[in-house]
Structures are given as C-alpha cells and as structure tokens.
Chains A and B, each alone.
Chain A
C-alpha cells in the first residue's frame, strides 16, 4: 500500500514539474477553450434569459474538447526516451501509474475550469437561480468522469494509427451519459426549475463503475505490445 502511494506521488510530482516547466497542456487547453467561448458567443449571441438554458451545454462541451488536447499528451509524453517501456519492466504497480495520470489530468482540467468559468459567467451574464453550491459536486464528479475514461482511452489509442483522432472517437460515445448528466444538472441548477440530485447520483454511479473497470483492465492495456 505504501509503495502504491509512493509511486503515485512520485509520478504526479514529475508530471506537475514537467507541466510547470513546459506548460504545454495548460496553455493549449486554455487557449482552446477561450476560442470555444468566443466562437459560441458569436454564433449564439444569447440574451441573459436564454443563456441560462444553453450555457451549461456550452461550458461542458468546451471543457470536453479542451480536455482532449491535454489527454492526448498525457501518454505521448512518456513515449519519448522509452519511459513507458521502463514503466512496463519496473515492479511498480500498473494501477499506481494509472491513478497518478488520472489525478494529474484531473488537476490540470480543474485548473482550466477554475480559470475559464469566470469568463463564461462574464460573457454570458449568468447567475444561478437554483442552489449554486451543487455546481461543485457536478464539477468534480463530471471532471473525474471525463478524465478517468479519457486517460484510459488515451493509453488504448497509443497503439493505433493516427492516435490523436482516435481518442475523441473512443471517448465521446462512452461519455455521452456523463455529458448528459453534467449538462442537464448544470442547466437544472442555473434555471432553478429542477432538482439536480438525480444527475449527481448518476454521475457518481458513472464514476464508480468506470473507475473500477479502468483499474481492472489497465494492467492489461499497459502490457499490451
């Protein structure tokens, strides 16, 4: 158990240090989602009342697309200098590596969300009419849902031709229930017309189910070559 946490911690610290020095993933994600905000603003040009109904969808679609750019880099970075091969032969548990990658991506996407959400609020003049604190569990669970499957599928698409395009093709269909819950839950809170409890529970179920499956299958995926 101790070695598991040690490996997780070491990998996360390494990833954060790499990201801190290069800022590749964060910069590309930030600029990408900024573009999404601006393009959506020009294509819809909503009134404050309408925007309450559509902004939940816009925010999550923006984050979904932006997180793909970070997820694509997460394993590709390990291919240089055969780092991934070194992981394969090392006695470190495979799931520790997976969890570290998921936590790292979770952190990066959360930073992105923390920086971009105020922009959405400013551009679309939104104010929540329902209980706004519920946006926090939806944000956390939704981000985890995107990141856990995304990290797994990114590892899977390493072995395919044109892997950059393969990741969204695999990730988006499986993520549809999570995206529906995030968007519908956010809209329910912003408009205050509905309760978001059902969607929070559904997101939690999605997270538990797919985290379990990812952990069960990751070792096989890592050693596949």
Chain B
C-alpha cells in the first residue's frame, strides 16, 4: 500500500496538469459567456467531489454505528474534512462565476447554491463537534450527527424547492446541451479532482492513524509508569512483601 502512494501522487499531478491544459486551452470558448465560463471546470468537479466525500462520510458513519470499527470512524473524519475543503471551493467559485454571468454575487432563492451552503454548515458543525468533544465517545456522537446531517440534505433541498431557482439545469441528466469537448474536459477535471481528494484524504488518514498510535502509546506508558510508581510507594503491596 505504501508504495502505491508515490505512484498515485505522480498520476494525480499529471492528471491535474492535463486537466488544466484541457480547461484553459483545448476546451472551446462558450458562445454566450465567453472565457468566464471556464470556471465551470473547477466549480462543478469540486461540487461533485464534495458530494462524493459526504456520501462516503455517511456510509462510514453508519458502518461505525453498527460495527464500532475505528477505521470507519477515521474514514468518516477524513472524508468530512476534505469534503468541507472542496465544498468551500464550490462556495467561493460560485459567486465569482455568478457575478459576471447573472450580475449578482449570490442568489438567495437558488436551490443548489443555498443547499450547498447548508450542507457546508452541517459538516462544519460536524467538525466542530469533533473538535469540542474530548471524551472517549466523540466518535459515536460524531457518527450520530453525521446520520442527522445526511438525512437533513433532502429536506433542505425540498424546503428551498418552492423558491424559483436561478441555476442552470444540471449538465448531465438534466436535458441541457453541452459541447462534447466541454463535457470531456469536465469529466477529465472531475477525475483529476477525485484523485487529488483521495490523495489528500489518504495522507490525512495516515496522519490520523499515527496520531492515534502516539496517543495510545502515551496512555500505555503513563499506565505502566503509574503502576510502577504504585508498587514503589505502597509498602504493603504484594511485590514488596
């Protein structure tokens, strides 16, 4: 597994470079929006990657609640952290794109924009809970909150449903028409982003693993140390007799 990491890093670097070239040079300019539209190659793949990571977080949390495996908990933590980063990219690139195209930074009634913001809020509160809770039950509490968050997402979507939406229809499966070269570039970018997200999540996972091992080692040492100290300080204990 460890030898795979550098290979994946190199592949990701190549993919990202190729995707950047495709996005900025090869993909045709949009007929209405001009070159501004090229931000789509960052906005949309980031969104898909973030949703994928949140889905992984949900599944890992369910697995943790059933099996109580620390691995599932670490996967949930890591996917939420990386997912929040990608979700932030979506929320930053969205207004940058909206300003020249729609003429406004933010459309409060827009369904996808608003539900992405709420999604971001939910997962930030998830990370806050993990930060603030220091008991041994943090993992279980976090997994419970992740279930709440995931179930909240469809309700958020429907609650904003009534407002008129300003977003373009989904590119894939929404009946919208798109130049095949644009779609190709978009998918290449998505692949590169998913690889990159996976790479970051993997190194974060290893870091978390090491951190937990260190904590365990510290706990063990202090246990052993206090046991020795107890033996030395109690003259009536069995060993001194």
Contact = CB atoms under 8 A, between A and B. Distances in A.
Contacts of A162: 132
A91 interface: no
A161 B134 contact: yes
Given A213-B148, A217-B144, A221-B144, A173 B158 contact: no
Contacts of B65: 217, 220
Interface stretch (B39-47, B122-130, B166-174): B122-130
Contacts of A224: 135, 137, 140-141
B183 interface: no
B133 A161 contact: yes
Interface string B126-159: 0011001111011011001101110110011011
A18 interface: no
B128 A169 contact: yes
B132 A181 contact: no
A202 B155 contact: yes
B107 interface: no
A196 to B, nearest CB: 11
Contacts of B118: 173, 176-177
Contact of A156 (B124, B141, B151): B141
| Residue from the set A184, A206, A210, A217 with the largest chain B CB neighbour count within 10 Å | A217
Nearest to A159: B135
A174 B141 contact: no
Contacts of B151: 209-210, 213
B56 interface: no
Interface string A125-152: 0000000000000000000000001000
A172 B132 CA distance: 17
A107 interface: no
A117 interface: no
Nearest to B130: A160
A225 B135 contact: yes
Given A180-B160, A184-B162, A224-B140, A174 B132 contact: no
Given A174-B149, A174-B152, A221-B141, A160 B159 contact: no
A181 B140 contact: no
Contacts of A205: 155
Nearest to A179: B159
Given A173-B121, A176-B121, A202 B158 contact: yes
A220 B149 contact: no
Interface string A195-220: 00011001001100110010001001
B132 A161 contact: yes
B128 A206 contact: no
B125 A159 contact: no
A184 B65 CA distance: 35
B149 A225 contact: no
Contacts of B132: 160-162, 166
A54 to B, nearest CB: 15
19 contacts: A149-B148, A156-B129, A156-B145, A159-B135, A159-B141, A166-B128, A170-B129, A173-B149, A174-B148, A176-B121, A177-B152, A177-B156, A177-B158, A180-B159, A181-B159, A184-B162, A199-B162, A209-B151, A220-B144
Given A177-B118, A199-B159, A213-B147, 17 more contacts: A156-B145, A169-B125, A170-B125, A170-B129, A173-B149, A177-B156, A178-B155, A178-B159, A184-B159, A184-B162, A206-B155, A210-B148, A213-B148, A217-B144, A220-B140, A220-B144, A225-B137
Nearest first, the 9 A-B pairs at minimum CB distance are: A224-B137, A177-B159, A177-B155, A173-B121, A180-B159, A160-B133, A160-B132, A173-B122, A159-B135
